[in-house]
Amino acid sequence: MEEIVVTGMGVVSSLGHTPAELWANLLAGKSGVATIDRFDVENYAVKFAGQIRNFDPSPYYNERDAARTSRNIQYAVHAADTALKMAGIDSSAIDVRRAGVMIGSGMGGMEVYYDNAVILDTKGPRRVSPFFVPMTIANMAAGEVGIRNGWMGPNWAPMSACATSNHSIMTAVDQMRLGRADVMIAGGCEEAVCKIGVAGFAAMKALSTRNDNPQAASRPFDKDRDGFVISEGAGVLVLETLSHALKRGAKIYARIAGYGASCDGYHMSAPREDGEGVVGAIRMACAEARISVTDVTYVNTHGTSTPRGDVAECGAIYKAFDGKVDNLKINSTKSMTGHALGAASGVEAIATIMSLVDQKVHQTLNLDNQEPEIKLDCVAGGPVSHKIEYAMSNSFGFGGHNSSVIFGRA
């Protein structure tokens, strides 16, 4: 079975729109969370988010076409273009019939859906946009990236809430291992910082309400955490078979060592308290990578900053490692970016890979008083140097979807 490697990365995030910018801001301990200014939040219980700012779609769309394309799609197009440039891939120089795209979304064109529902209700059916459907459906980001590059290989959109990007990466690797593609773009995108997105998650009581201090609101593993911070963006990887990458002399940033997936089989949004679903995903990933679980020395956690979720995940990690965690460091990228839902594990895959490249682990921001139940080194207070040969990225979605991807050092 041929090895699959990472040769490019692309991102849109609240902390920057290139992998280098994202990584520099993570190491600097900056927060991308602030009061929302995209719409009036006066009557909202939650007034802040990891909103995307300073994003310019003009390199990809003129003004007319941008108005006909959801932000969700625009984020994916930018991330894919950035990743391809980083990988040095020109579509004219590869077999496009063996080049595919797996970019999913947890929500799809959520803002577009809401806006057109309002138009339907207030102005009638004739005023609904003729672009409503293609702007809204979750598969269109993958389709648009394929269309823009002329790639004709496997192309669809995995959808598993906040585990979407990890499942996209897994599915892309599966397609390549089955011999159906030589190169794939894989990850996720999201545009959920919108009226209905913020209101919906706030109604669930899932979000932090720390309106007086937004940058301190996302505080994974801290005993004073009170919910996650919603954000948005895109994160994608360029994946290639090792032979394809070597043939064209590509720089390799990491390799896909293994991955595991499971279901809690328990509840639509709450995690299993015994952690067995997460334990199963972690051990499955290690078995596929043919390594001991203790060979993983860094875990980029799902780490959302919810009261139950953080304890459940950390307990599952401790259990999966049989308590042998002296050389293990974990952190939460969401402490700085917020939770980008379907795009989250795409963004976090990039942070995980950069940790492998630089042999550094960024801090978990706002970790002032660690939850006593958590028996792991959560990297509070600043980034640390750490020897990493294998790093794991965890991502879990509503519905009990668990995913763990292990990246190996190039």
Every domain of the chain and the residues it spans: 4-247, 258-409
Evaluate whether 4-247 and 258-409 have a shared fold. Answer: yes
Amino acid at 39: F
- For domain 4-247, the question of CATH label 3.40.47.10 is answered with yes
Q: Is 408 exposed, middle or buried (0-12, 13-18, 19+ CB in 10 A)?
A: buried
In the prediction, which pLDDT does 316 show?
Answer: 97
Give pLDDT tens digits along the chain (410 positions).
889 999 999 999 999 999 999 999 999 999 999 999 999 999 999 999 999 999 999 999 999 999 999 999 999 999 999 999 999 999 999 999 999 999 999 999 999 999 999 999 999 999 999 999 999 999 999 999 999 999 999 999 999 999 999 999 999 999 999 999 999 999 999 999 999 999 999 999 999 999 999 999 999 999 999 999 999 999 999 999 999 999 999 999 999 999 999 999 999 888 888 889 999 999 999 999 999 999 999 999 999 999 999 999 999 999 999 999 999 999 999 999 999 999 999 999 999 999 999 999 999 999 999 999 999 999 999 999 999 999 999 999 999 999 999 999 99
Q: What angle do CA 314, 320, 324 make, to 5 degrees?
A: 90
In the prediction, which pLDDT does 355 show?
Answer: 98
Sheet holding 296-300, edge to edge: 155-156, 99-105, 183-190, 233-241, 4-12, 254-263, 401-409, 390-397, 296-300, 329-331
Could you list the active site residues? 162, 302, 339
In the prediction, which pLDDT does 251 show?
Answer: 98
Q: Is 269 exposed, middle or buried (0-12, 13-18, 19+ CB in 10 A)?
A: middle
In the prediction, which pLDDT does 274 show?
Answer: 86
Residue count of the chain = 410
pTM over 0.75: yes
Strand partners, 344: none
Which fold does the domain 258-409 belong to in CATH? Peroxisomal Thiolase; Chain A, domain 1 (3.40.47)
